[in-house]
Amino acid sequence: MRANGTEEPAARASDPRSEPRACAPVASDVPVEDDVEDDVEDDVEPPSPWIAEPALPPHTEPVLDRLLDASIVFSFDRTGYRRHAKGFAPGDLDVDLTGQTCLVTGASSGLGIEIARGLAERGASVHMLCRDVAKGEAVRETIDGARAWQLVVAPIDLSDFGSIRRYVQTHAPSTIDVLVHNAGVLPDARTTTADGLELTVATNLVGPFLLTHLLWERLRADARVIHVSSGGMYSQKLDVPTLFDPPEPFDGVAAYARTKRAQVVLTELLHDRSTRRLSSMHPGWADTPGVQTSLPRFRRVTKAILRTPAEGADTALWLAASPAASSPEGRFYFDRAPRTTHLSRRTHERPEDRTQLWRTLCERIGADPDTAFR
């Protein structure tokens, strides 16, 4: 049942009006938690001449857009962002967030820095949740000094249930307007956490779920909760046993993409239970420290066309701050527009898969699946 008493849909059909902007066969837009803080934006080379968009008559532009988006590369890359940005409504992010309290996980690196910066620049009080507090403090000092007082750095390790509970007990604010789940990991080897979970699913899915659960009563009734997912999720189907117990040999990219698929489904499930404004998004291919560390070969090939971290973070910031994004309805966004969540029939989950995900997550954090998040 939904919060309003109506029957909860078992699964969602993709919105036929949402034109897919292509998919990534690999999870290459990786916002890895608390990685290197180097500002990589200046390190991106200008795009090569061969990727320049051709100048065509105006009547051909919609056709060209569809062709470029279907290419994957020219949708998720820098040129894709700049082409899509031509359709952004002017003033969407000209907002005053004074008085709002926002939480951003993984805020000491990559997309997290840009999301925290954007919220603070618009007047919000921003809590930067970081595994490494020293890194977080160093990042805080790089943000405009006039805004630095609005940034609070707090310790949290999303792979560790004890760390999450300590954060909520000792550092979490009493009321929250925005919660951005940005932190994530893409390990190259299988690791088991102290709570008995594989590291990828613990950090990217179960930990954020526990944090949301513990903060639920502190989230305002109209609070915005955003999951930073990945275009890589298009390559994976929701399969709960494989999600929690990846097969051998361990494939870090596939394990990461499975958690990102699960984030998108979880966002829909939470939306169906709540009045809070739930959404998920993916940033495209952005040149973050996570990509540099976890996908070095991919970056060597694509470095010249990767988005800047600010471009990758734009949709998450828009979902967190813009009045135009006030009714996301649990949907999946890319470049400020809702997108289909499936591009292949083989990735569609069954209603029982969605139920299994919900019950398994609730079981892992010790919550009642029938009453949690109501």
Residue 332 phi/psi, 5-degree rounding, is -105, 125
Which has the closest alpha carbon to 343: 24, 6, 126? 24
Domain-located, residue 31: no
Distance of alpha carbon 363 from alpha carbon 357, whole angstroms:
10
CA 245 to chain centre: 22
Q: What is the pLDDT of residue 57?
A: 45
Domain-located, residue 120: yes
Reading the block at residue 204, the tokens are: 């990217």
Q: How many domains does the chain have?
A: 1
Cα dihedral 16, 90, 232, 160 sign: negative
Q: Say if pTM beats, i.e. exceeds, 0.75.
A: yes
One-letter amino acid identity for 166? R
Domain-located, residue 37: no
Contacts of 79 (CB under 8 A, 6+ apart): 47, 51, 52, 53, 68, 305
Domain-located, residue 24: no
Q: What is the pLDDT of residue 261?
A: 98
Domain-located, residue 359: yes
CA 115 to chain centre: 11
Instruction: Tell me the catalytic residues.
Output: 256
Report strand pairing: 332-334 vs 176-181: unpaired
CATH number at 313 reads 3.40.50.720
Domain-located, residue 6: no
Domain-located, residue 51: no
Q: What is the pLDDT of residue 74?
A: 84
Q: What is the pLDDT of residue 212?
A: 98
Q: What is the pLDDT of residue 371?
A: 96
pLDDT in tens, the chain (374 residues): 444 444 444 445 444 334 333 333 343 444 443 333 333 333 333 333 333 344 444 444 678 888 888 877 889 999 999 999 999 999 999 999 999 999 999 999 999 999 999 999 999 999 999 999 999 999 998 886 656 678 999 999 999 999 999 999 999 999 999 999 999 999 999 999 999 999 999 999 999 999 999 999 999 999 999 999 999 999 999 999 999 999 999 999 999 999 999 999 999 999 999 999 999 999 999 999 889 998 899 999 999 999 999 999 999 999 999 999 999 999 999 999 999 999 999 999 999 999 999 999 999 999 999 999 98
For the chain, where are the E strands, in sequence order? 101-105, 125-130, 151-155, 176-181, 219-228, 277-281, 332-334, 337-339
List Cα–Cα distances, 147 to 76, 107, 126, 277, 334, in angstroms: 31, 15, 10, 27, 28
Domain-located, residue 82: no
- Token look-up 């620049």 returns 121
Report strand pairing: 337-339 vs 332-334: antiparallel
Domain span holding position 222: 88-365
